[in-house]
Copies of this chain bind each other. A is one copy, B any other.
Amino acid sequence: MNKTKQKILSKALALYNRDGVSNVSIRQLAKDVGIAHSNLIYHYPTHEDIVLGLHDLMLREALELNTGLVQNDSPLKSLYETTKTGFSVVYEFRFFFKELQYICKAFSKVKEVLRQVEKVRYVMYKKVIGDMIASDLIRSEEFDGEFDDLIVRIKIYSDHWLESSSIYDDLSKEEKINKYSYLLLQHIYPYLTDKGKDEFKRIQITTTKPH
């Protein structure tokens, strides 16, 4: 990505996070980046293009951070670390999650991308759960589709914890990320085998839990 595009996305992210997508004009953005309006729309003709660019950046960043994580021998610990990393990225791109409904309504391409990404996320969780079953950390399904249902619940949770937190919590960024990463693991906890629960205790995933 060239430097101008980088600067545009970086400034757009700051403005979107501060004011909300619908309250930022292309003209204001150009002014804040310090480039001509015509130059900005050459790179990104519309807000939809910018939001798509930011969404792409968000995915790359999450992927990069996760690739950089130190490997460890506990799948539960790995899931926790991956979640914390992912939720930090969610926080960084928070306009996206706070305005998900508006964004999906206003920008149909973004909605389409989200629906594609959901499929990737599904496969990822399916693998994580499958691996944990294979390692006897999670019990097997008690009925058909039980873990597909769990993945849907995790999706709703992951997309919306930030929004919920902004209504009900008075927490710092760090506290939010810790609290909600811990609660994501709580989705998995009741499916753990005795071995899985021992593992869960061993890796000492805790939260200060200020609800």
Contacts and interface: CB of A to CB of B under 8 A. Distances in A.
A166 B160 CA distance: 13
Interface string A98-110: 1111101000000
22 contacts: A99-B101, A100-B167, A101-B167, A102-B102, A104-B166, A118-B168, A148-B211, A149-B183, A149-B186, A150-B186, A152-B211, A153-B153, A153-B157, A155-B164, A155-B168, A156-B156, A156-B157, A156-B161, A156-B164, A159-B160, A190-B190, A190-B191
Contacts of A163: 100-101, 160
A149 B189 CA distance: 11
B104 A167 contact: yes
A198 to B, nearest CB: 12
A175 to B, nearest CB: 14
Given A102-B102, A166-B104, A168-B118, A156 B149 contact: no
A163 B157 CA distance: 12
A95 to B, nearest CB: 10
